[in-house]
Chain A
Amino acid sequence: MTRSCRVLAGTIFAALIVLLFSGAPVRAELRIDITSGKVEPMPIAIPAFPGGADNESQAGHDIAAVVSADLERSGLFRPIDSRSFIQNVSLADAQPRFPDWRQINAQALVTGSVQTQGDGRLRVEFRLWDVFAEQQLTGYGYTTTRQNWRRIAHIIADEIYKRITGEEGYFDTRIVYVAESGPSAKRIKRLSIMDQDGANNRFLTDGHALVLTPRFSPTAQEITYLSYSSGAPRVYLFNIDTGQQEVVGDFPGMTFAPRFSPDGNRVILSRAENGSTNLYVLDLRTRRATRLTDSQAIDTSPCFSPDGSKIVFNSDRGGSQQLYVMNSDGSGVKRISFGSGKYGTPVWSPRGDLIAFTKIEGGSFFIGVMRPDGSGERLLTRDFLVEGPTWAPNGRVLMYFRQSPSDSQGHGGSTRLFSIDLTGSNQREVMTSQDASDPAWSPLLR
């Protein structure tokens, strides 16, 4: 007994000694917490992509300019003035001279080249470098027809944006909108489409019929919109490739406010009948319509959540126009907006975390966002009339239209497109050749 006690005591003592000495050499690094930093656009250098022949150099210059403009417009990058560049990048340079770029405070550098292949097509390559770490972050090559250089530039800008921010880009996209011209009493409205930077604009309809609320299909091949071409407002489908149009559904009365489901197989819309307006969903394959709401109020502006399980819409069923969310089969209707004023045109973010809306309060219009449960309402911009938000495919940027007030003779009152970052900063006008309203952002084209 005593012997075993002694053994036990000895063991404990030995363990203590071991613990004591094993603890001694442990040495940890000094730890520092950094909880703040600079929030400013990243300085990036995008020299013209060199090419062998003159036309290649011109294309390289143009491509670099479009990439630069795309990134600058995002508000997250600050392209450095090319006049301050020290190194003149040439085709022979396999790797940039990093000290030259550090000296002008470039944190990122984009180099590239343009060459013509045997079949006459362009071979465009680019590389994104981390100037401080002297590492290549990404690099791709593309082969394309000469007239397609602009699209290649957008794709390159998307790759850069994605690599630096971790989010998908939105530059290789198009905007469908309503181009407006003529006096207010006799306004001509035409369905139009352009690249997200305003380039390559073309009209899809001739303007003889009024068109409203165009929306892109998730497949980017089709647009659904409202047209008065048959006299009464009806929802149509427009095939961008073929130019063919067709009426959606064979409803009596008015149909309006159409929008595609996330899978592109259904269209949800409003139908007015007997003084009330209800929501219907139409399967484009079977052409069968299903009624989703049954109220004596006006239910309109429906929009699916990105996973297709919910629908947000606005309704005056509670007395004033507010936002409601329900299941995609019409069950479980729940009001989500409780602020003062009226809410309309809700649009679910492609990443699902927010719903953008138009709010009218105190004679002013606002574009705002809130969470799908109605919490966290944030107003991004306010003006005389701002309306119709649409999300960029990455859910970080909104586009909408803004109308300025007109004078007593009806002059002024121009309508233009604007984009704004989700943070409420970086508001930019999207340049269009004439007045524009009702923008709808396409998904990424790839």
Chain B
Amino acid sequence: MSLALAEPGLTGADEVSDEMPEGIGSRGFALSAALHLVLGGVLIIGLPRLFDPPPVEEMPVAVELVTIAPETRTTHPNPNLPRPDAKPDVPEAEAPAPKPKPEPPKPAPVPPPAAAASPPADQPAPPEAKPEPPPPKPPEPKPEAKPAEKLEVPKPKEKPEPPRQVAKVEPKPEEKKLEEKKYDPRQFDALLKNLAPVHTAMTQDAPPQNPRVASARASSQPRAPLGSQLTASELDMVRHQIAHCWNVPAGARDAKDLVVEIKVVVDPDGTVRQATIVDQGRLGSDAFFRAAAESARRAFFNPLCRPLHLPAEKYAIWKDLVVDFSPRDIL
């Protein structure tokens, strides 16, 4: 049915085309071709852009140029530091003053760095260090005497044997009171005394360094230019070395947030002469921080980090180091 209806229409259309004049047909064709070309051109060239998102402007990527040393294997000892040879040379070159010292090797420097300086394991050093330790010794008697009294806590154990005697109940409260009374003041004293040697050791180091600490904090700008003077591989090497010497205090509460700043004075042969915990205030008040700070400080006295692998010719750059320890990559 529908086909039969459609046919008359089609025949009608044919008739119309037959009537069209020749001239109009060719002009129309040319016009049509031109229009098609234009349309095609618009489709090919213009439209795709209509649907595409506007081109994103590419952001410039900042590239930091670092100096790479010819040798980049951080695990290898730094060839720049033939320590044994360097040692004798450097001290002489460094200061004529030390020369008189050789005989009584560390008369002047001894007191402060005694502990720190001796570790190199030079045989003469330890004996020399001992005379100084007397300061540490005094602290010893203190803890002995005081805690001794505070911790007379033997009784709890005596109870176990005849467990259920009422008589024992009384002694306990007494002991407790004694413990408590003794405990507070003396433990506090003892704590202070125990801290004393640490503090003195620190304070010996501290005076010369405090001004520097201040300047280091104030001037964050020079940090980049200075750091860039050591090559990336040299920095990597020493970073790697120190990380291997650092026994991280694991599992402590909020350890992730702990950042310990250690100020280090290094001898020309790469041996750390002084390592000072910068935040002395927190050292006395925060046991977690103290544990973390001391673990960081200990890293510099670890035999694996003596000496530090640093290029001797750049001593001026790394003579004074500030090392920030944070276990954030571990925890």
List chain A positions with a Cβ less than 8 A from chain B: 26-40, 42, 76, 94-95, 97-99, 102, 105, 107, 121, 123, 125, 127, 130, 132-145, 147-148, 150-152, 155, 162-167, 200, 202, 204, 221, 239-244, 351, 353, 396, 421-423, 445-446
A76, A135, A139, A145: the one contacting B140 at CB < 8 Å is: A139
The answer, yes or no, to whether B89 is at the interface (CB within 8 Å) is no
User: Known: A125-B144, A133-B301, A141-B143. Is A28-B216 also a contact (CB below 8 A)?
Assistant: yes
Query: Separation in Å of the A84 CB from the closest CB of chain B?
Result: 16
Which residues of the partner chain A approach B149 to less than 8 Å between Cβ atoms? 143
Query: Separation in Å of the B145 CB from the closest CB of chain A?
Result: 7
User: Known: A38-B244, A133-B301. Is A144-B115 also a contact (CB below 8 A)?
Assistant: no
Is the pair B324, A162 in contact by a Cβ cutoff of 8 Å?
A: no
Which residues of the partner chain A approach B246 to less than 8 Å between Cβ atoms? 34, 37-38
Query: Separation in Å of the A377 CB from the closest CB of chain B?
Result: 18
The answer, yes or no, to whether B177 is at the interface (CB within 8 Å) is no
The answer, yes or no, to whether B248 is at the interface (CB within 8 Å) is yes
User: Known: A29-B263, A139-B144. Is A165-B252 also a contact (CB below 8 A)?
Assistant: yes
B115, B145, B157, B223: the one contacting A135 at CB < 8 Å is: B115
Which residues of the partner chain A approach B145 to less than 8 Å between Cβ atoms? 141
What 5 pairs between A and B have smallest CB-CB spacing? A243-B164, A166-B291, A132-B301, A37-B246, A148-B154
Is the pair B223, A28 in contact by a Cβ cutoff of 8 Å?
A: yes
The answer, yes or no, to whether B36 is at the interface (CB within 8 Å) is no
Query: Separation in Å of the B163 CB from the closest CB of chain A?
Result: 5
Complexed CA–CA distance, A167 and B255 (Å): 12
The answer, yes or no, to whether B104 is at the interface (CB within 8 Å) is no
Is the pair A30, B321 in contact by a Cβ cutoff of 8 Å?
A: yes
Residue of A nearest to B289 (CB): A166
A34, A166, A243: the one contacting B287 at CB < 8 Å is: A166
Is the pair A32, B148 in contact by a Cβ cutoff of 8 Å?
A: no
Is the pair B298, A139 in contact by a Cβ cutoff of 8 Å?
A: no
Which residues of the partner chain B approach A26 to less than 8 Å between Cβ atoms? 215, 219, 222
The 8 A CB mask of B244-259 against A (1 = contact, 0 = none) is 1111111111000000
Is the pair B249, A166 in contact by a Cβ cutoff of 8 Å?
A: yes
A95, A123, A142, A147: the one contacting B136 at CB < 8 Å is: A95
The DSSP consensus for interface residues of chain B is helix
Is the pair B156, A144 in contact by a Cβ cutoff of 8 Å?
A: no
Is the pair A35, B328 in contact by a Cβ cutoff of 8 Å?
A: yes
Which residues of the partner chain B approach A127 to less than 8 Å between Cβ atoms? 140, 143
B116, B179, B223, B323: the one contacting A133 at CB < 8 Å is: B116
User: Known: A132-B298, A144-B153. Is A38-B248 also a contact (CB below 8 A)?
Assistant: yes
Count B interface residues, CB 8 Å. 97
User: Known: A95-B136, A396-B251. Is A139-B194 also a contact (CB below 8 A)?
Assistant: yes
User: Known: A27-B222, A36-B329, A39-B330. Is A142-B166 also a contact (CB below 8 A)?
Assistant: no
A31, A32, A142, A162: the one contacting B151 at CB < 8 Å is: A142
- Known: A37-B244, A38-B244, A133-B297; 14 extra A-B contacts, CB below 8 A, are A29-B212, A31-B323, A102-B121, A130-B294, A134-B119, A141-B147, A141-B148, A145-B157, A147-B157, A166-B289, A167-B252, A240-B163, A243-B163, A243-B164
B239, B247, B288, B326: the one contacting A38 at CB < 8 Å is: B247
Complexed CA–CA distance, A268 and B132 (Å): 59
The answer, yes or no, to whether B112 is at the interface (CB within 8 Å) is no
Complexed CA–CA distance, A267 and B246 (Å): 46
Complexed CA–CA distance, A353 and B251 (Å): 13
Is the pair A36, B330 in contact by a Cβ cutoff of 8 Å?
A: yes
Complexed CA–CA distance, A15 and B238 (Å): 41
Is the pair B324, A32 in contact by a Cβ cutoff of 8 Å?
A: yes
Which residues of the partner chain A approach B299 to less than 8 Å between Cβ atoms? 34, 37
User: Known: A30-B320, A241-B159. Is A166-B252 also a contact (CB below 8 A)?
Assistant: yes
The 8 A CB mask of B84-113 against A (1 = contact, 0 = none) is 000000000000000000000000000000
